[in-house]
Amino acid sequence: MGASISPPAGACLVTGCAGFVGGHLTEALLALGAEVVGVDNLSSGRRENMEGFLNHPKFHFLKRDILETDWLDEARRTLPYFRCVFHLAAVVSVAYSMNHETETLETNYKASIELYNQTVNDGARSFVFAGSAAEYGDEACLPIKEEYADNRTIQLSPYGRSKYLASRHIIEAGVGCSLRCFNIYGPRQDPSSPYSGVISRFLLQAARQESLTILGAGDQTRDFIYVSDVVRAYLLAAGLGPAADKPLVGAFNVGSGGRLSIQELASAVNKITGNPAGMTHLPPRPGDVLHSLADVSKLERATGFKTQTTLETGLKETWRAQGSPGE
Ligand code: UD1
């Protein structure tokens, strides 16, 4: 996407700028000529994710926690008005949220709606919230449509619940949007935790020439989407797409609209990486949903969005960037 055909991004606020998606998004905004205040407490975000732009003249980094009361004042002292707000800072681990419900709700819900209310009140032109597929709980009816998450939905974790509550506030307020991303993967996704995204874990195992650990039979399916496609969806959602459309209002799924079994994924990873170690089946993860697939027609209708990166290309790009430990 060239800067010449997109509208000026102006002043942007990105919370969670050192996260996996936040880092890629910040990079894209700076490439569009935006001036960006990035906020991150570096609890799950990593400084390495900001390496490409930390010294950019139009980037201002605040190492702050969004639960602190005065962080937004400091951001406003840096740039007085934010045209676009991208809110990705969150408790991001579903597993962690299970034992930290209050902290998860305070961060992902309460702090989110405070930021929303204040910046929309300040006149922000767009507010894009990082919602989640976890808002749908264990939804059996596929593909999953946005309206399936409602007050009767039982989310499987405080993480999913907190994201739903914040999305609902934004939908009801009628300004800005929540992007419910499905399984995102790509360069710089942290593979180090057992709860990291399966693609980052498989690529790390392949780099070490270990067998890929399939949890359960491997017939569970997911809708994988490459991070640069997700970034494009964020820009479109803020009205920063090439067609200079209006910012989106409401909730929108962000996925590929296709699904792949974990067994098929493991085969693809071993093929692309030349990993000779094969696969091992371990017991399934408790609470794992069997199938997940986004209905992406709402975003497509609103913005013309279509993914551009195939799984094969995305895996190759991620492998190239992540590489083997010896590289
Ligand atoms: C994803 C999100 C999570 C969200 C959930 C529901 C990520 C990292 N997590 O979880 O935040 O709550 O969707 O929307 O995107 N697997 C293996 N081997 C491994 C690791 C995982 O076989 O080493 C399997 C898992 O059991 C699962 C599948 O791969 O069936 C995908 O796992 P994961 O990448 O963790 O994502 P979700 O479980 O879909």
- CA 198 – ligand 1 centroid, Å: 6
- CA 197 – ligand 1 centroid, Å: 6
Instruction: Report how far apart the first and last C-alpha atoms of the chain are (Å, whole number).
Output: 30
So where are the chain's domains?
11-186+225-258
- pLDDT band of residue 10 (cuts 50, 70, 90) is confident
72: which 2 tokens? 């937004």
Pairing of strands 35-39, 11-15: parallel
Question: If we measure between CA atoms, which residue out of 105, 85, 87, 93 comes closest to residue 43?
Answer: 93
Ligand 1 atom closest to Cα of residue 134: 14
- CA 94 – ligand 1 centroid, Å: 10
- CA 290 – ligand 1 centroid, Å: 10
- pLDDT tens, 45-88? 999 999 999 999 999 999 999 999 999 999 999 999 999 999 99
Residue 293 has pLDDT above 70, yes or no: yes
Cβ of residue 187 lying under 6 Å from some atom of ligand 1: no
- Quick one: DSSP state of residue 49? G
Cβ of residue 265 lying under 6 Å from some atom of ligand 1: no
- pLDDT tens, 155-168? 999 999 999 999 99
Pairing of strands 221-222, 260-261: antiparallel
- Residues 247, 128: Cα–Cα separation, whole Å: 9
Give the residue, by CA position, lying nearest to ligand 1 atom 36.
197
- pLDDT band of residue 8 (cuts 50, 70, 90) is low
Give the residue, by CA position, lying nearest to ligand 1 atom 31.
198
- pLDDT tens, 240-254? 987 767 999 999 999
| CATH code for residues 11-186+225-258 | 3.40.50.720
Which H, E and C letters describe 167-217, residue by residue?
HHHHHHHCCCEEEEECEEECCCCCCCCCCCCHHHHHHHHHHCCCCEEEECC
Choosing from 97, 215, 280 the residue with most ligand 1 atoms within 8 A of its CB, the one to mutate for a pocket test is 215
- pLDDT band of residue 326 (cuts 50, 70, 90) is very low
Residue-level pLDDT at 3: 39
- CA 262 – ligand 1 centroid, Å: 10
Ligand 1 atom closest to Cα of residue 157: 12
